[in-house]
Amino acid sequence: MKIRGELPADDAAIHELTRVAFEPMPFSSGTEAPIIRALRAAGDLTLSLVAEDDGAIVGHIAFSPVSIDGVHAGWFGLGPISVRADRQRQGFGKALIARGLELLREQGAAGVALIGNPDIYGRAGFESDGLLAYGDLDRRFVQRLVLSGPPPRGELKFAPGFDV
């Protein structure tokens, strides 16, 4: 397994991987793949990593800036994240998250927030203390991992690319 930053030529593969991975998910908006392109076009794709296996892209993760109570203070959103169906539960997702966190830490990020299944992201160190909100969504799904500084409190807002 190799994890590397995206290259311009990866765009179509990332788009298709994301589209297909989210298609069967009941919670999917169907906009995850276009979101990645919108973030990239807006210069908000802070980090875009792919996982390669035998030369094929089998996983992808995106990180983009978020605001908390309207303030951008070094926090980033995790997602979308996708692993090809036939390669899920083999550690690719975990490796993509770990590498992304490592790079953001090196860049001096304050932390990473996400909306997702606590069973999956809790294993990667994410937790919900109920202080971070996302509309009226159950706060157990609004998770964060602090890299430096105090735990954030307030309303989480993702980059405009998520509104496609």
Ligand X SMILES: CC(C)(COP(=O)(O)OP(=O)(O)OC[C@H]1O[C@@H](n2cnc3c(N)ncnc32)[C@H](O)[C@@H]1OP(=O)(O)O)[C@@H](O)C(=O)NCCC(=O)NCCS
Position with the least CB separation from ligand X: 93
Residue (69 or 102) nearer to ligand X, CB: 102
Residue among 46, 41, 56 at smallest CA distance from 163: 41
CB contact set of 153 (below 8 Å; sequence gap of 6+): 68, 69, 131, 132
Determine the straight-line distance between the first and last CA of the chain, rounded to whole angstroms: 32
Shortest Å distance, C-beta 108 to ligand X: 26
Q: What are the strands of the beta sheet with 2-5, ordered from one edge?
A: 2-5, 47-53, 56-65, 75-83, 111-115, 142-146
Residue (73 or 116) nearer to ligand X, CB: 116
Shortest Å distance, C-beta 90 to ligand X: 5
d(CA 55, CA 34): 24
Shortest Å distance, C-beta 153 to ligand X: 23
Residue (34 or 91) nearer to ligand X, CB: 91
User: 10 Å Cβ neighbour count for 153?
Assistant: 12
Residues making contact with ligand X (CB under 6 A): 21-22, 25, 81-83, 88-94, 116, 119-120, 123
Shortest Å distance, C-beta 62 to ligand X: 11
Q: Are 64 and 44 in contact (CB under 8 A)?
A: yes
Residue (73 or 94) nearer to ligand X, CB: 94
